[in-house]
Amino acid sequence: MAQDPYKYFRPEAREILDQFSRGVLDLEKGGSGAPIVRQLLRLAHTLKGAARVVKQSEIANHAHAIEDTLSPLRDSVEKVAREQIDVVLQHLDAIGDRLAGLATETAVPAAGKSGADEPARTIRTDLAEADAILDGVVETHAVMNGLRAAVRSMRQVGQLADLLVSQLSQASPSERERHTALHTNQRLLLAGELRRKIGAADGTLVAIVDQMDRELRQLREGAERLRLVPAANLFMALERMVRDTARVQSKQVTFKGSGGDIRLDAQVLNTIQGALVQIVRNAVAHGIEAGDERVRGGKSEAGSVSVAIVRRDRRIVFSCTDDGRGIDLEAVRRIASQRGLVGSVPKEKVADELVRVLLRGGISTSKTVTEESGRGIGLDVVREAAEQLGGEVVCRSEPRRGTTFEIVIPPSLSSLDALIVETEGDSGIVAIPLDSVRATRRITASQITFATPGASVLYEDKAIPFLPLMTALSGTGWSADRSWTAVIVADGDAFAAIGVERLLGSAKIVVRPLPQPITASPIVAAAALDADGNPQIILDPGGLIAAARRGRPAEPAARSAKRTVLVVDDSLTTRMLERSILESSGYDVDLAVSAEDALERLRDTRYALILVDVEMPGMDGFTFVERLRADAKLRDIPAILVTSLAGTEHRRRGHEVGAQGYIVKSEFNQAELLSMIEPMMAA
């Protein structure tokens, strides 16, 4: 506190002012009077006390004046008068101005005051410190991967110790003659102790690594979100601007904000707020008509201004819409012509050219000069802000219906909720924005229809295009006779079903723009970093749908018989588990629910390998393999028995009937299965 006596006061006062401004605006909109007033009195009292502690008498006096204004209304059931609200807001503005003057290094926004030069509320930790924390977390995650490797090594050592104990305990008579029983027992004891110690160390390491992973993941998410600010922080200043401008203009105007849950880089919000303030001010001053004029035109007496923040394709869109009279393009044309700012342009592009002229600044259609309008400045601020962020401004105006301004910018840092999916090929694990996901489905081969121009499936009784994600990303062919996990993606009124290998869950991820000058596929919107610091692509819903419409193969790629496995098991759980393992390793898979079903399939399809259960209704697995070996066309197909029968006699029977492998379900090991399959498939 010696170097900066206001270190703790500033953030506390800012938070109080934010709450105060929200409460006052809610009060003006007709919110429940007495409870809000009592809450505001508590805030004023808290701020007054804190200000006196740091010897800021000016702030304390304004807080006390707010108490004097609101105290008579503590128990009132009547609506608070606009004049009283004006008085409170004036004191809040004065407090905000004084608070801004207390900043030592970082500018502190006047939370209760609106204006073009007011920055958005920034995060209260130094951004450089937040970035350093984030870098440290990423590096620590990389170190943790080394710990995981150590855990795997410990497990291997444990397996060796088990083998040593097994060999010593099964020593032959000749070995016992060469070594005394004492030496053998000592070795057994040492090996057993080694196994126990390694087991304990392994358990400890696993627990520590898992705990580190959970904690670091939470820390990383927190650090990433700390770097970002909710876009909703813009709304209060904009609503205040609407309120104050409408008050001066003697108009009734309501404000609505949406999309405030999107989190963006604080510097982006600081830049964009000034532009939005200008647009909102113009909407109220120029666009919204007076109440009597609106009524004569068949509108409600109160006008409306809304600000929406959305993601569109690869960009962030800040949209401001009013329901006023629209831009007087004829007046703009007249003034621009007088100044030689607009030349000869095609008739159909006149409106676009006039809007561009308007955005250059220096033109005003207002007949009078006021604090709100008439100087011909403001929209050039909008254009400059968009250009500074590498974006553009789009304007649409309709006479007597209203105007929409859109500031479209590429994302810097932002966050979104995403569905994480896995696909084949080099892309691996990718993210799809969750707000574009309408449903997920399991789609069988029979549900996919092929026609010009390609594949489609039914969704809500409508045919929508279908395309595997791997094909969309790499252009490779795909199997027509397999099932898919499909993600139903929407972009506006357009839909598509995207086939993926599996769904991995949802997550909140921090979006980073693709580094320049890298150019990506149109279906790639941006990138993120996964928990291990590896790049992870984020897909663009519009690009996915366009790819599904444009790039769907009319004829699906044929499957390679050399990579197709038939899984035969009466248990749905076992079938799906084995299928998941095989497909994730690049094999095509067909399923059969019985040995009889499998024999029917073998009449029409040649398989490279068969996995078959033993205990099934009807024909058992042993008999099935015998039938294979007796058939000249099928005898060369490798067969692996996957069964719960673990007895020596069962293993012997499997060998006798001609099975190339025998796996016990209770001892099932994915790596063992794949290592057994690989040489068979290669042969």
Residue 674's CB is within 10 A of a number of other CB atoms, namely 15
Q: How many CA atoms lie within 13 A of 30 on its CB side?
A: 1
- How far is 240 from 543, CA to CA, in rounded Å? 38
136: nearest Cα among 207, 264, 222: 222
Neighbours of 107 (CB within 10 A): 11
Q: Can you give the pLDDT at residue 101?
A: 81
Concatenated DSSP letters for 600-669? HHHHH---SEEEE-SS-SSS-HHHHHHHHHH-TTTTTS-EEEEES---HHHHHHHHHHT-SEEEEGGG--
Residue 315, helix vs strand vs coil: strand
Query: For 340-346, which contacts have Cβ atoms below 8 Å and span 24 or more sequence positions?
Result: none
**What tokens were used for 605?**
């399809």
What pTM value is reported for the model? 0.50
Question: What burial letters (b/e) apply to 603-622, b meaning 16+ CB within 10 Å?
Answer: eeeebbbbbbbbebeebbbb
User: Could you read off the pLDDT of 496-540 as tens digits, one per residue?
Assistant: 999 998 898 888 777 776 655 455 567 887 777 766 566 778 888
Q: What is the pLDDT of residue 528?
A: 76
Q: What is the reported pLDDT for 372?
A: 44
Q: Rounded to whole angstroms, what are the CA distances from 212 to 145, 192, 198, 209, 424?
A: 11, 30, 21, 5, 30
* Burial state string for 297-326 with b = 16 or more CB within 10 A and e = fewer than 16: eebeeebbbbbbbebeebbbbbbbbbbbbb
Pairing status of strand 494-500 against strand 502-511: unpaired
For residue 579, the cross-strand partners are none
- The whole-chain average pLDDT of the chain stands at 78
Strands (E) in 484-530, as ranges, are 484-491, 494-500, 502-511, 524-529
Angle (CA) 348 349 351, round 5°: 105
| pLDDT tens digits for range 578-624 | 888 888 778 888 888 899 989 988 887 888 999 999 988 889 999 99
**3-state SS, residue 298:** coil
DSSP state letter for 73:
G
Cβ(373)–Cβ(393) below 8 Å: no
Given this model, what pLDDT does residue 515 score?
58
Q: Give the integer Cα–Cα distance in Å for 429 and 504.
A: 9
Rounded CA-CA distance 327/335 in Å is 13
In 3D, which of 580, 563, 658 has the Cα closest to residue 612?
Answer: 658
Residues of the chain with pLDDT under 50: 1-2, 104-126, 345, 368-377, 517, 554-557
Per-residue CA distances from 318 to 165, 231, 276, 354, 636 (Å)? 69, 10, 8, 21, 65
Concatenated DSSP letters of 204-256? HHHHHHHHHHHHHHHHHHHHHHHTEEETTHHHHHHHHHHHHHHHHHT--EEEE
Instruction: Write the CB contacts of 93 (distance below 8 Å, at least 6 apart in sequence).
Output: 110, 112, 113
Helices (H), 29-170: 33-53, 57-70, 82-100, 127-169
Phi, psi of 592 (to 5 degrees): -135, 140
Q: State how far the Cα of 486 lies from the Cα of 508, in Å rounded to an integer.
A: 21
By CB atoms closer than 10 A (0-12, 13-18, 19+), residue 108 is: buried
Distance between CA atoms of 391 and 548, rounded to whole angstroms?
Answer: 28
